[in-house]
């Protein structure tokens, strides 16, 4: 029985994924179950986080968002089993029931982004009816679920589009997005557009997709074109607002901190792995997983999925995912 693994010894420029023959699964222990995998979604592997967590191995298992017979869930960060395999061994604390109306690919393809959206909107920014939310890169797999969840909570949503195709995708949302800001040509000022949309008050919640930290000479032109500067985010944030960032290397100068202080604003870092790093959070984590599945079943949101791919194409697809290529979620179907 083969599984897909990532060679951590490789550099970022030489990402290597390999199929490796696996030994038979050990005898199931208490609270563990064997799961026949029906679908597994592909997400980028954060090699830097693995190194900081002292989890470096020659081969690291690939595929953690899985759906299978009876149960589905996200494999823990320290799992030795790859989700891209026919059968895996999983502790029951990482599983929730899949509703009958939800397909295998929908379950696997939405569980991770659903957890990220819940973490950002509920636990880090406390979204509520009437709040204004700016979701950067709203046409991404994560952005589409975050938009739908914010709409479900009664929030007013503003989003940015990185291309004409993304802009058209966002304009088809129902209920409609309050404003779609096209940043693809680099001429539109995000802060000005948000302040105009909110009558100068600023937005209550910002979910970024990365920010520009330095001057124009220090970063690639493409990145400059699509990402707002950290000063823009601070400018468009309203009084008492929440800035949820995915920029793990964010640096704030004293004037930036002072501006956030004057606004009484908060800054939070979105790390969806945090739920698996402490058993204290297990109850909340399972509640999120269960609610994601329920909202998927009732049609509150739908994931943006690419066409399912067979297992033998997983290696090539994972290489593309690791390089941030493609917009829709890739799911391997067994």
Domains and CATH numbers, the chain: 1-108+278-331 (3.90.180.10), 125-267 (3.90.180.10)
pLDDT the model gives residue 70: 57
| 56-60, 128-132, 311-315, 317-321, range with the lowest pLDDT | 56-60
Mean pLDDT of 200-226: 74
Helical spans, DSSP H, in 74-189:
104-118, 141-152, 164-171
Q: How confident is the model at residue 260, as a pLDDT?
A: 94
| d(C-alpha 76, C-alpha 53), whole Å | 13
Task: Give the pLDDT of residue 204.
Answer: 95
Question: How confident is the model at residue 158, as a pLDDT?
Answer: 94
Residues 240-245: what's their mean pLDDT? 94
Asked whether the predicted pLDDT for residue 306 surpasses 50, the reply is yes
Q: What is residue 76's three-state secondary structure?
A: coil
Residue 223 has pLDDT above 60, yes or no: no
Q: How confident is the model at residue 77 (pLDDT cuts 50, 70, 90)?
A: low
Q: Considering only 44-48, 117-121, 129-133, which range has the smallest mean pLDDT?
A: 44-48
Name the β-bridge partners of 89.
Answer: 34
| Contacting residues for 59 by C-beta, under 8 A, at least 6 apart | 5, 6, 7, 8, 18, 20
- Confidence grade of residue 71 (pLDDT, cut at 50, 70, 90): very low
pLDDT given at position 201: 94
CB atoms within 10 A of CB 31: 9
| Residue 127 pLDDT class (50, 70, 90 cuts) | very high
Scanning the chain, the segments in alpha helix (DSSP H) are 47-52, 104-118, 141-152, 164-171, 190-197, 221-226, 230-236, 254-263, 282-297, 314-322
Reported as a pLDDT band with limits 50, 70 and 90, residue 12 is low
Q: Select the more confidently predicted residue: 326 or 259.
A: 259
Q: Is residue 228's pLDDT more than 50?
A: yes
Q: Which residue has the higher pLDDT, 179 or 14?
A: 179
Residue 238: pLDDT above 90?
yes
Q: How far apart are CA 261 and CA 101, in angstroms?
A: 47
Q: Is the pTM of this model over 0.75?
A: yes
Among 90-99, 131-140, 190-199, 259-268, the least confident range: 90-99
Residue with tokens 């009664």: 154
Give residue 211's pLDDT: 86
């Amino acid at each position: 029985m083969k599984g897909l693994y990532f060679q951590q010894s490789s550099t970022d420029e030489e990402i290597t994924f390999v199929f490796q023959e696996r030994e038979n699964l050990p005898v199931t222990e208490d609270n563990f179950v064997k799961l026949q995998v029906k679908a597994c979604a592909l997400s980028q592997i954060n090699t830097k986080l693995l190194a900081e967590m002292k989890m470096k191995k020659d081969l690291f298992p690939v595929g953690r968002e899985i759906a299978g017979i009876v149960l589905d869930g996200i494999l823990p960060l320290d799992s030795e089993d790859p989700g891209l395999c026919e059968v895996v061994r999983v502790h029951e604390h990482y599983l929730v029931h899949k509703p009958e109306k939800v397909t295998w690919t929908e379950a696997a393809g939405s569980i991770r982004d659903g957890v990220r959206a819940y973490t950002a909107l509920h636990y880090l920014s406390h979204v509520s009816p009437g709040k204004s939310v700016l979701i950067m890169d709203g046409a991404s797999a994560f952005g589409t679920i975050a938009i739908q969840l914010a709409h479900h909570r009664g929030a007013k949503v503003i989003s940015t589009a990185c291309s004409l195709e993304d802009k058209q995708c966002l304009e088809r949302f129902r209920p409609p997005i309050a404003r779609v800001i096209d940043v693809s040509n680099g001429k539109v000022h995000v802060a000005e557009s948000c302040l105009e949309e909110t009558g100068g008050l600023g937005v209550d919640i910002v979910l970024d997709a990365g920010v520009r930290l330095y001057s124009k000479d220090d970063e690639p032109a493409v990145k400059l074109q699509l990402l707002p500067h950290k000063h823009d985010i601070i400018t468009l944030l309203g009084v008492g607002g929440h800035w949820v960032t995915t920029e793990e290397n964010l640096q704030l100068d004293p004037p930036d901190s002072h501006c956030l202080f004057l606004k009484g604003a908060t800054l939070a870092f979105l790390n969806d792995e945090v739920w698996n790093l402490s058993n204290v959070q297990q109850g909340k984590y399972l509640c999120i997983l269960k609610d994601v599945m329920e909202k998927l079943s009732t049609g509150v949101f739908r994931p943006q999925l690419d066409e399912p791919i067979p297992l033998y194409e997983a290696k090539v697809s994972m290489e593309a995912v690791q390089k941030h290529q493609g917009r829709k979620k890739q799911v391997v179907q067994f």
